[in-house]
C-alpha cells in the first residue's frame, strides 16, 4: 500500500510479486515433482486390474509442460492477490496512518475471509465425498453374502478339446468329477454351472468343512482321479473373490483419502495464516481496547468469532456442494449417501476442531499482548 501511495504502478508491483512468487513456486515445484514420481508409483501399484493403460502411466514432457503452465498461472494469480486486497490508498492517508485503519484494511480483511471460506468449503466437500466412499467400501466388505466366505472354493477347469471334443464328453467329465467330490466326507456341497447357462461356464464351486487348503487338495485329487493330465487354475476362495471385486472401490478410497487429509491440513494452515495476519493487523486496536477497559477474554472472543464465522460459512457451503454432487456419485455408493448426517457431522466437527486448534496460537499471542508497549510505539 505504501509503494502504491508513493507512485509505484501496479505493473511494477506485479512484476516484483511475480518474481518473488516464481522463485518460491519453482522450489515447491521441484519438491512436488519428486513427490509426484513417488505417488505415481504407489498409485500404479495399488491400481486394480481393468484400468486402461494404468501400467504405462508416467511423468513425461507433456506432464511437465502442463505443470509449468499451471505454475506460471498460479504465480501470476498470487501476484495479483495483494494488489486486489490493498487497492490504491492516497499518500495523505498513508502518512496519517489511516491506510490500514485501526483494524487493518477492510478490503484486505474481506478478501482474506473470502479465501478462507472457499478453502474450507472445498475441504469439507472433498472430505465428505472421501468419507462416503470409504464407508461405502466398508459396507460392501461387511455385507452378508449368505455363506461362509472362507469355506467355499472356486476353481477354473477347462477340459482339453482334444480329449473332450464335444459337449457330451465334457459333461461326462464334470459328472465324474462331481461324483468323486461328493464321495468325500469333507465336501458338504458341489456346484457346477456348466449346464445352466447359454455359454457353458467351467467353474467348479466346492464347499467343505475344512479350510481352503484342504478344499484345494480335495479338488485336485478328484481331477487327478478322473484325468491326471487335466489342470486346474484360478482356485480362489469366495473371500478372495470378494476382495478382487472390491478392488475398484478400495482404489477410489485410497486415492481420495490422502487428498482429503492434505486438504484439511491446508485448511488448517490457511486458518492459522489468516488469524495470524488478522492479529498482526489489529494489534494496536486490541491494545487500545484493552487500555480503554475491555476485558482480555472479550477481545480474544471477538478475534476467534470473526475467524470461526468464515469457517462455519465454508462448512455450510461445502456440505451443500457435496450434497449437490450426490446424484453423480449415487451409483458409486452402497447403503449410504453423501447426505449421510453422521459423515457430514463428523467432517464438520473435524474441520471445526482443526480450525479451533489453529486459532489457539495467534489468540494466545494476543492474550500476552503488552498494552503499554504497543501504545508507546
User: What is 25-92 written as a DSSP string?
Assistant: HHHHHHHHHHHHHHHHHHHHHHPPTT-TT-TT----HHHHHHHHHHHHHHHHHHHHHHHHHH----HH
Largest interatomic CA distance in the chain: 103
Cell 486346474: give the residue: 232
Contact (CB, 8 A) for 203 and 157: yes
Contact 129, 325 (CB under 8 A): yes
Q: What is the pLDDT of residue 99?
A: 43
**Residue found under cell 491326471:** 228
Q: What is the pLDDT of residues 277-305, one digit of tens each?
A: 666 666 667 767 777 777 777 777 877 78
CA dihedral 210, 212, 218, 219 (to 10 degrees): 140
Residue (of 368, 346, 351, 367) closest to 270 by Cα position: 351
pLDDT recorded at residue 297: 77
Kindly state the percentage of the chain with pLDDT values over 70: 76
Rg (CA), the chain: 32
Model's pTM, two decimal places?
A: 0.66
- The end-to-end CA distance of the chain, in Å, is 20
The answer to which of 34-48, 82-96, 186-200 has the lowest mean pLDDT is: 82-96
Helix (H, G, I), strand (E, B) or coil at 190: strand
Amino acid at each position: 500500500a505504501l509503494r502504491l501511495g508513493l507512485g509505484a504502478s501496479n505493473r511494477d508491483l506485479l512484476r516484483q510479486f511475480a518474481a518473488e512468487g516464481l522463485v518460491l513456486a519453482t522450489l515447491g515445484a521441484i519438491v512436488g515433482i519428486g513427490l509426484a514420481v513417488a505417488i505415481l508409483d504407489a498409485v500404479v501399484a495399488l491400481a486394480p486390474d481393468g484400468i486402461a493403460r494404468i501400467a504405462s502411466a508416467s511423468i513425461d514432457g507433456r506432464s511437465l509442460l502442463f505443470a509449468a503452465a499451471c505454475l506460471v498461472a498460479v504465480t501470476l494469480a498470487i501476484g495479483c492477490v495483494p494488489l486486489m486486497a490493498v487497492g490504491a490508498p492516497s499518500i495523505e492517508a498513508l502518512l496519517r496512518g489511516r491506510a490500514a485503519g485501526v483494524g487493518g484494511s477492510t478490503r484486505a480483511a474481506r478478501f482474506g475471509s473470502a479465501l478462507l471460506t472457499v478453502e474450507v468449503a472445498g475441504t469439507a466437500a472433498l472430505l465428505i465425498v472421501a468419507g462416503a466412499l470409504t464407508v461405502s467400501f466398508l459396507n460392501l466388505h461387511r455385507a452378508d453374502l449368505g455363506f461362509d466366505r472362507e469355506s467355499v472354493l472356486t476353481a477354473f477347469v477347462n477340459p482339453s478339446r482334444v480329449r473332450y471334443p464335444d459337449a457330451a464328453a465334457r459333461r461326462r467329465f464334470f459328472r465324474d468329477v462331481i461324483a468323486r467330490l461328493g464321495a468325500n466326507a469333507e465336501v458338504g456341497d458341489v456346484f457346477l454351472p456348466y449346464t445352466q447357462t447359454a455359454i457353458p461356464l467351467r467353474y467348479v464351486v466346492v464347499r467343505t468343512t475344512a479350510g481352503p487348503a484342504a478344499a484345494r487338495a480335495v479338488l485336485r485329487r478328484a481331477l487327478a482321479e478322473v484325468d491326471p493330465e487335466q489342470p486346474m487354475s484360478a482356485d480362489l476362495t469366495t473371500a478372495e473373490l470378494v476382495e478382487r471385486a472390491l478392488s475398484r472401490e478400495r482404489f477410489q478410497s485410497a486415492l481420495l483419502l490422502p487428498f482429503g487429509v492434505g486438504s484439511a491440513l491446508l485448511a488448517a494452515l490457511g486458518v492459522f495464516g489468516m488469524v495470524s495476519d488478522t492479529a498482526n493487523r489489529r494489534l494496536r486496536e486490541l491494545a487500545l481496547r484493552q487500555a480503554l477497559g475491555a476485558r482480555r477474554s472479550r477481545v480474544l472472543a471477538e478475534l476467534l468469532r470473526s475467524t470461526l464465522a468464515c469457517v462455519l460459512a465454508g462448512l455450510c457451503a461445502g456440505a451443500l456442494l457435496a450434497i449437490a454432487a450426490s446424484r453423480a456419485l449415487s451409483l458409486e455408493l452402497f447403503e449410504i449417501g453423501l447426505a449421510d448426517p453422521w459423515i457430514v457431522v463428523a467432517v464438520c466437527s473435524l474441520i471445526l476442531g482443526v480450525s479451533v486448534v489453529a486459532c489457539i496460537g495467534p489468540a494466545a499471542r494476543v492474550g500476552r499482548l503488552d498494552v503499554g508497549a504497543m501504545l508507546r510505539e
